[in-house]
Amino acid sequence: MPEYSPVIIIGGGQAGLSMSYCLKQKGIEHIVFEKNKIGYAWQEQRWDTFCLVTPNWQCQLPGFPYPGERPHGFMPKDKIVRYLQDYVDFFQPPLHEGIEVFKVCRSDTGGFELETTQGGYRADQVVIAAGGYHRPKIPAIAQRLPEHIVQLHSSTYKNPESLPDQPILVVGTGQSGCQIAEDLHLAGKQVHLCVGSAPRSPRRYRGKDVVDWLDQMGYYDIPIDEHPQKETVRHKTNHYLTGRDGGHEIDLRQFALEGMQLYGRLDNISSGHLEFQNNLKENLDHADEVAESIKQTIDEFIAKNQLQAPTEPPYEPVWQPESEIPKLNCERAQIGAVIWSIGYGIDFSWIDIPIFNGDGYPGHHRGVTNVQGLYFLGLPWLYTWGSGRFSGIAQDASYLCDQIAQQAKTFHPNPTRQLNEVAIGS
């Protein structure tokens, strides 16, 4: 017979752990399955100099806000892993590491059945807390590159020393692409960068980190249903900036002045040639326009509320492309490696329940699906900007916990069990 738990949480990252904390606070019996180990993605799928782009004070796991002495700093990856491990030590979740769930389906008798690497399980309710970044994207066109060129996804890049001592091509200018390009550039590598349409953000403006301003303005509290771009915001690329070396903005124009070679979006690979779209200037201008619009919004907030804040001169581009480069010969440029930094695809194919749209995204409202007892947590913009981040996961987990507690009453007259009187964390 399959083993039984009233609630099963799939995923032991910040979302799954937050859900476990909330359920444990209510005394609701549950288990958490994590297919790897705590902090695995942060440790194994980030490069050596990776840092959060949001300040440490935004790390607000439920019951466990950032405990360090640098609230306005930016945690490097080893400190992120430590933060998660300390959270586990703090409240001792019913965590099962090294167990993968490879199928979830409805049970004929009600509830759900799960197939795992440790056998079958049954549950009345299931929370999918497996995030939204599952399948690294490497386009089919990559097969056209010469065989001697090393290819890797941004999730497997570690450091400049791990790559050939040759020029490197980075494809994509979201957060990962820009930060990896900077990492290589600072190490003295010749970097060729394909610039996409990702927006950029200022780091500090008028005396504060921009994140501080946006928090004060209430931006992070806006639910997706009230967002002016609610139809598209879930699918937009994040603004690029960095928390490295104390945090700073990334200006690709400055990199170009220093010798980085910029191109438009990669369009084709043919006979050893990389072919680019004629949109480098357009993409750089768009990124600047977004950064300036953020500043303008802050200016309006300061003026409306009559706040005292230092002024700053307007941004002036330090470099302009004289002309677009349509092609690059890989052999002549001596390209030694290509880093694909074009994101991830979602993959919930292991969930055998008809709740997904044509793109594989689950239908839900604040994480509650139309299938009784099935929930999602930790997806980007599940409810607010912070839903997939350390900053907003507590709100979403608390909301789902209330839904789970209410639903549990339909399964059992007394769905909770009393916890040990010893305080959590003592």
Rounded Cα–Cα distance for residues 396 and 21 (Å): 12
116 is written with which tokens?
A: 């795992």
Parallel/antiparallel/unpaired status of strands 204-205 and 150-153: unpaired
Q: Which residues contact 322 (CB under 8 A, 6 or more apart)?
A: none
Q: Is residue 45 part of a domain?
A: yes
Are 285 and 376 part of one and the same domain? no
Alpha helices (H) in 238-306, listed in sequence order? 252-257, 280-304
At 1 the pLDDT is: 74
At 415 the pLDDT is: 42
Query: To which H or E segment does residue 91 belong?
Result: helix 77-91
Q: Which residues contact 190 (CB under 8 A, 6 or more apart)?
A: 166, 167, 168, 259, 261
CA atoms within 13 A on the CB side of 394: 13
**Quick one: DSSP state of residue 114?**
E
Parallel/antiparallel/unpaired status of strands 135-136 and 344-345: antiparallel
Q: Is residue 189 part of a domain?
A: yes
Query: CA geometry: angle at 157 spanning 191 and 144, to 5°?
Result: 65
Are 146 and 248 part of one and the same domain? yes
Are 102 and 79 part of one and the same domain? yes
Are 127 and 266 part of one and the same domain? no
Q: Which residues contact 185 (CB under 8 A, 6 or more apart)?
A: 191, 255, 258, 259, 260
Are 82 and 195 part of one and the same domain? no
At 412 the pLDDT is: 60
Are 291 and 304 part of one and the same domain? yes
Q: Is residue 425 part of a domain?
A: no
Q: Is residue 420 part of a domain?
A: no
Of the candidates 314, 340, 366, which is a domain's last residue?
Answer: 340
Contact 247, 209 (CB under 8 A): yes
Of the candidates 340, 373, 388, which is a domain's last residue?
Answer: 340
Burial (CB count within 10 angstroms: exposed 0-12, middle 13-18, buried 19+), residue 89: exposed
- For 246, other C-beta atoms within 10 Å of its C-beta total 12
Check the CA dihedral 65-70-72-77 and report its sign: negative
Of the candidates 340, 359, 384, which is a domain's last residue?
Answer: 340
Q: Is residue 423 part of a domain?
A: no
CATH number of the domain encompassing residue 226: 3.50.50.60
At 113 the pLDDT is: 97
Q: Which of 404, 384, 401 is closest to 58 using CA atoms?
A: 384
**347-350 CB contacts, 8 Å cutoff, 24+ apart:** 347/134, 347/135, 348/128, 348/130, 348/134, 350/101, 350/102, 350/103, 350/104
Are 188 and 206 part of one and the same domain? yes
DSSP for 366-378, written as a single string: TTB-SSTTEEE-S
34 is written with which tokens?
A: 């994590």
At 166 the pLDDT is: 98
CA distances from 20 to 13, 87, 123 (A): 11, 11, 15
Rounded Cα–Cα distance for residues 142 and 200 (Å): 27
Listed in order, strand segments (DSSP E) in 130-243 are 135-136, 150-153, 168-171, 191-194, 204-205, 208-209
Q: Which residues contact 27 (CB under 8 A, 6 or more apart)?
A: 416, 417, 418, 419
Instruction: Give me the average pLDDT of each 10-residue run along the chain (426 residues).
Output: 93 97 97 97 96 97 95 97 98 98 94 97 97 92 95 98 98 96 98 97 97 95 89 86 97 98 97 96 97 97 97 95 95 97 94 94 96 96 92 96 91 46 31
Are 174 and 276 part of one and the same domain? yes
Instruction: Name the residue range of residue 217's domain.
Output: 137-340
| Buried-exposed string 400-423: b where 16+ CB fall within 10 A, e elsewhere | bbebbbebbeeeeeebeeeeeeee
Number of separate domains in the chain: 2
Contact 329, 158 (CB under 8 A): no
Contact 55, 71 (CB under 8 A): yes
Are 374 and 282 part of one and the same domain? no
Are 352 and 335 part of one and the same domain? no
Q: Is residue 106 part of a domain?
A: yes
Q: Is residue 107 part of a domain?
A: yes
At 133 the pLDDT is: 87
Q: Is residue 416 part of a domain?
A: no
Give phi and psi for 127, each to the nearest 5. Answer: -110, 120
Are 35 and 153 part of one and the same domain? no
DSSP for 181-201, written as a single string: HHHHHHTT--EEEE--S--B-
Are 253 and 237 part of one and the same domain? yes
